[in-house]
Amino acid sequence: MKNILVTGGAGFIGSNFVKMMLDKYPLYRIINVDALTYAANLENLQDVSVHPNYSF
């Protein structure tokens, strides 16, 4: 299993990248790191937050 670290994953581009990676590579572990500044929106990640290979 590969580990992918995504920085800024709660922003618009990062959250879409996280979703794409989980769809295209379901066996990869996606680790999301975000400072949760004004550009972050955790609602963008609501549907992937329960994915077993995703962690925030």
Determine the pLDDT at residue 1: 86
Residue 42 has what pLDDT?
Answer: 95
pLDDT in tens, 23-52: 999 999 999 999 999 999 999 999 999 999
- The residue ranges of every structural domain in the chain are 1-28
- The whole model's pTM is what? 0.91
Q: For residue 32, what is the enclosing H or E element?
A: strand 29-33
Cα Rg of the chain (Å, integer): 10
Could you tell me the two tokens for 41? Answer: 């929106």
Taking a C-beta distance cutoff of 8 angstroms, is the pair 25, 31 a contact?
Answer: no
Q: How far apart are CA 8 and CA 39, in angstroms?
A: 9
